[in-house]
Structure 1
């Protein structure tokens, strides 16, 4: 598992390095992509809900032996809630899903490269003073 964690960390560092000379607009685009990235928790919850629903539906409509599936899945969710780990988590990590903290680390690094911590949402209101400071920093 440590190898997977190191790979994910290395990939993040390489992505941030590619943005060192990027324009603020390019960095903003990447920040918006990060806003939509699924983290390990969301992935685990979505997969568990899908399997639990499918198992329940099959148990009700096809064969009641399918009831084992939602029992196992909800047991894994409970284990994850208590211990912060469950058997599907290493699979999710190997598939490249990152924790919310790892995504936030990349987000913070990109904001630092951009030269500030202004909001990345295009609709976010910005004061004239903040715009002037950002323009001055970008010109350097």
Structure 2
């Protein structure tokens, strides 16, 4: 890959995150998949519904940034004008995240287990394979297919 090209969006958060956090998130995802395979179709349905409600790292960063910006603007308007610096700092962090994939809250959120949309989707599609949604992917032998699915979602 050409080093002058920016990191693809789907990979930039993982590349900017601590490797221990990435590994922990990967193991957690694989554990969810293996557990779902043992529990069966009803649990897979429930887990898929949970994944639909899970906030990815981008949503968490956006909500946090918006909250701090609103707090800064409110305090700047009602308490002291110096609080207007807070939304400016937040905007700089968001710009840094958009360009580099890193910003100060990112390591904390990753340590808390907040995943990227790509990581959530990997689990979602693995569960769908286990459920049998994809005709060309064999899923009759649950033990065998779990190993195949876990192998397929690893980088």
Q: Provide the TM-score with structure 1 as the length reference.
A: 0.81
The RMSD of aligned alpha carbons is 1.4
When the two structures are aligned, how many residues end up with a matched partner?
Answer: 119
The corresponding residue for 1:29 is: 46
Match of 2:93 among 64, 71, 76: 76
Deviation at 1:96, TM superposition (A): 1.1
Deviation at 1:117, TM superposition (A): 4.7
Structure 1: any 5+ residue segments left out of the alignment?
Answer: 119-136
Q: Which residue of 2 aligns with 1:125?
A: none
SS in structure 1 of the partner of residue 133 of structure 2: coil
Cα distance between partner residues in 2 of 1:15 and 1:90: 22
What residue is the counterpart of 2:108 in the other structure? 91
- Output the CA distance in 2 between the equivalents of 1:89 and 1:75: 14
CA distance in 1, matches of 2:99, 2:63: 18
1:1-140 aligned within 5 A: 1-117=18-134
Displacement of 1:106: 0.5
**CA separation in 2, counterparts of 1:21 and 1:112?**
14
- Secondary structure of 1:97's match? coil
In 2, Cα distance between the equivalents of 1:37 and 1:55?
27
TM-score (norm 2): 0.73
* 5+ long unaligned stretches in structure 2: 1-17, 141-155
Q: Cα–Cα, structure 1 residues 55 and 13, in superposed 2: closer, same or farther, change >3 Å?
A: same
